[in-house]
Amino acid sequence: MLVFTLTPALRPDAAAAAVRAGDVAAVVLRVPEGGAPDTGHLRAVAEAIQRHDAAVLVAGPDTLVTAAGLDGVHVSDPRSLDAALRALKPQAIVGAGGIASRHDAMEAGESGADYVFFGALEPQAGDAADILDFVAWWAEVFEVPCVGLAASLDEAEALAQAGADFVALAEALVAEGGAASVTAAMARLARADAQP
């Protein structure tokens, strides 16, 4: 998975190039707080990504899913998860983020979320060890897919080794090297999968 922030600087062709650089299942487009998104721009970015068989999820109001032709929503506040599930399932993907405890994770998994996401979309310093612990615990016990956020290539490889169903690459990591960062991450994930 890839994470981008929906700003005027996010070009559809650049987002699509990052998706083409690897086996990307989904892209989460984060809507900045307090800003009303440009639905036309959102739709253009989404269509460029969807042409390469990646789902587009919005981390923002779930009304944008229908308005911009998206595949689903990434819910960053667990208090909003039930409402999103009622509004969008089964037609759209609903992912559960904003998880701060094992209890939050289990509630999200039991509620019918399509995945549980460990880590903030904007990574915080020092979060890597907690994310890794969450992923290792979840992957061993539960069937609902889990996603771990990686802010570095080393973190991406470690999350794959811990059993993450999907690894989300933080926006700063992708921005640093563009499509080359995605390619490098894919190589690390393949290496992790090949290890016994």
List, for residues 41-92, the tens digit of each pLDDT value: 999 999 999 999 999 999 999 999 999 999 999 999 999 999 999 999 999 9
State the CATH architecture for 2-194: Alpha-Beta Barrel (3.20)
Q: Are 39 and 14 in contact (CB under 8 A)?
A: no
Give the pLDDT mean for 146-171: 97
Interior/surface letters 90-107, b for 16+ CB within 10 angstroms, e for the rest: eebbbbbbbbeeeebbbb
- Closest to 72 in 3D by CA, of 118, 26, 117, 103: 26
Q: What pTM does this model have?
A: 0.95
